[in-house]
Structure 1
């Protein structure tokens, strides 16, 4: 298993670095889910994964899970959302991009803090919720 940095607790790490780690973890969960679903064509799996990791989908995920978050988790989400990242992709609204960065920071926080049960619980809810609302983010 990958270990958190020894020098800092997740709460002390720059929120953009949490988002950097969280982006990879989030995408891994999505890809693993899609492969486990039984989709066999790599191009279809990739297309579906791109949809799930887009800023609009992640912003929608934040809206769907906000009520489930503890105060500490909401603080991490806000830190990520409010972090100044430099540039926003052309194909994303600024608000969606900020919320997606907040979600990625939260995922990175859970991962680096070793809160794997919480990470799995919320990622499961995000994925099932976004699949049920097939058109969200588009």
Structure 2
């Protein structure tokens, strides 16, 4: 898919796809790190896919200058999308930032930028200590 075609999708549709892409990366990382009970895998996954963690991740990427201008634009589209309401356990700001990150991952997935997705995820895991979970 071209960038222009991917930009035609709503930010929330991109976030819908990006949520699955991001969670798959987390699950792959966890299963490859150790053979552990499914309950533990699920618990660790939830810690890394929650809005608070994703918000911290994207803020770290932005603060460290990892995102290109185009990527920041896609993130902002997701963050500023209407119709987003945060669950009780998250702040609106964190939930919107997480939606922006998912939008970016969805966009990159649709345009076939698998290498960039992996690079961004690697940066998140290197820049954001596990203690932030």
User: What is the TM-score with the length of structure 1 in the denominator?
Assistant: 0.88
Counterpart position of 1:104: 102
Counterpart position of 1:68: 66
CA change 1:37–1:122 in 2 (3 A) is same
1:108 deviation in Å? Answer: 0.2
RMSD: 1.5
- Which of 25, 29, 35 is residue 29 of structure 1 equivalent to? 25
CA deviation map 1:39-76 (0-9, x unaligned): 42111111000000000000000111111111110000
Q: Say if 2:60 and 2:124, in contact at 8 Å, map to a contact too.
A: yes
Counterpart position of 1:59: 55
2:45 maps to 1:40: no
User: Which residues of 2 match residues 70-89 of structure 1 at below 5 A?
Assistant: 70-89=68-87
Q: Which runs of 5+ in 2 are unaligned?
A: none
Counterpart position of 1:120: 118
Distance 2:83 2:101 in 1: 14
1:23 deviation in Å? Answer: 0.3
User: What is the TM-score with the length of structure 2 in the denominator?
Assistant: 0.91
Q: Say if 2:84 and 2:96, in contact at 8 Å, map to a contact too.
A: no
Distance 1:60 1:39 in 2: 27
Distance 2:45 2:126 in 1: 14
Matched positions, count: 130
Q: Which runs of 5+ in 1 are unaligned?
A: none
Runs of 4+ in 1 over 2 A off after TM superposition: 127-130
Q: Which has the higher helix share?
A: 2
Distance 1:19 1:88 in 2: 14
